[in-house]
Amino acid sequence: MPVLPGAEPYRHEGGDVGVLLCHGFTGSPGSLRPWGEYLAARGLTVSLPLLPGHGTRWQDMQVTGGEDWYAEVDRELRALSRRCERVFVFGLSMGGALTLRLAARHGDAVSGIVLVNPANRVHGVMAHALPVVRHLVPSKAGLANDIAKDGMDEVAYDRVPLHAAHALRRFLHVVDRDLPQVTQPVLLLRSPQDHVVPPADSARILGRISSTDVTEVLLEQSYHVATLDHDAERIFEESHAFIGRLAPGTGAGAARDRDKEGSSSGG
């Protein structure tokens, strides 16, 4: 099945700091492509994979689940770790859950994580009925393009496959169980006006992880897909500064220092 235009994976060979970007449920790399390109332009090595069952047609997701999606980002993390001295993982929505799972399982191999409107639960009246309903109804209306900014498209499915939604629900339980194993520095950016993931998800994540270096940023002008919204530039800048702070001797840290020197010298 051909990949939808704009849903293609993205990779860039840069310096010795790598960033793995994880997209969300029913979404695609299109939701994170500008973020990846921003980091690549600043000398970082970037990997933005297309998760199994995504980016083609919603029916293809019906035979995939959490372990398939996790296995893909796990492979990418291992490849980046062989290529780079330091690796960071960033994620949007379900991609945030994948990020947390990687952090919990890989420990020091992950230098820090950035979460944008991360998911912790499947919500809605149908959530508890999924084990039965998924056998009766194949899909329901999707939640794509929850974006305040006009003209933006995350290249996501317009239907939610219910077998995959059930798999997501089970996977999120596994991620939640292991949150205390997350110890890395965390930057969490969330939108108060999010019509897909409620603020309670971020609050639970922050309350259960063991990280002591935690920064929370509110994205007041954006909805769920904030990486394509009015606050996108802020996300990009905050995440790059986060890397520069934690990896000061690397290309990211050097770039940050050059930016500071340029601003202090006055143009």
* 157 belongs to a structural domain: yes
The Cα–Cα gap between 247 and 168 comes to: 33
Backbone angles phi, psi at 76, to 5 degrees: -65, -40
* 260 belongs to a structural domain: no
Three-state SS at 222: coil
Choosing from 47, 224, 229, 240, the catalytic residue is: 224
Residue 264: per-residue pLDDT: 43
* 138 belongs to a structural domain: yes
Residue 45: per-residue pLDDT: 98
Residue 35: per-residue pLDDT: 98
Going by C-alpha positions, the residue among 181, 50, 24 that lies closest to residue 118 is 24
The Cα–Cα gap between 200 and 252 comes to: 33
Q: Which pair of tokens denotes residue 206?
A: 């922050």
Q: Are 39 and 240 in contact (CB under 8 A)?
A: yes
Bridge partners for 47 per DSSP: 11, 20
Give pairs for 132-140: CB < 8 Å, separation 24+.
133/162, 134/162, 134/163, 134/165, 134/166, 137/162, 138/59, 138/62, 138/162, 138/163, 139/58
Query: Total domain count for the chain?
Result: 1
Q: Which pair of tokens denotes residue 175?
A: 């991620």
Choosing from 47, 93, 191, 202, the catalytic residue is: 93
* 52 belongs to a structural domain: yes
Choosing from 146, 194, 201, 231, the catalytic residue is: 194
Going by C-alpha positions, the residue among 1, 97, 115, 98 that lies closest to residue 54 is 1
* 2 belongs to a structural domain: no
Residue 257: per-residue pLDDT: 46
61 labelled ligand-binding = no
Sole residue written with tokens 């798999």: 167
Identify the DSSP state of 43: T
* 236 belongs to a structural domain: yes
Q: Are 32 and 58 in contact (CB under 8 A)?
A: no
Residue 229 annotated among the catalytic residues of the structure: no
Residue 93 annotated among the catalytic residues of the structure: yes
152 labelled ligand-binding = no
Three-state SS at 239: helix
* 266 belongs to a structural domain: no
Residue range 23-75, pLDDT digits in tens: 999 999 999 999 999 999 999 999 999 999 999 999 999 999 999 999 999 99
Q: Are 83 and 93 in contact (CB under 8 A)?
A: no
Residue 20: per-residue pLDDT: 98
Residue 262: per-residue pLDDT: 46
Residue 153 annotated among the catalytic residues of the structure: no
Splitting the chain (267 residues) into consecutive groups of 10 residues, what average pLDDT does each group show? 95 97 98 98 97 97 96 98 97 98 98 98 74 78 93 96 93 97 98 96 98 98 98 98 89 49 42
Three-state SS at 86: strand
What is the maximum span of the chain, computed from C-alpha positions, in angstroms?
66
Chain centroid offset of residue 183 CA: 18
Going by C-alpha positions, the residue among 182, 190, 173 that lies closest to residue 235 is 190
Residue 258: per-residue pLDDT: 45
Residue range 217-232, pLDDT digits in tens: 999 999 999 999 999 9
Query: Angle, nearest 10°, between helix axes 162-177 and 66-83?
Result: 60
Give the range of the structural domain holding residue 188, as residue numbers without chain letter. Answer: 10-245
Residue 122: per-residue pLDDT: 87
Residue 250: per-residue pLDDT: 63
Residue 60: per-residue pLDDT: 96
| CATH number of domain containing 217 | 3.40.50.1820
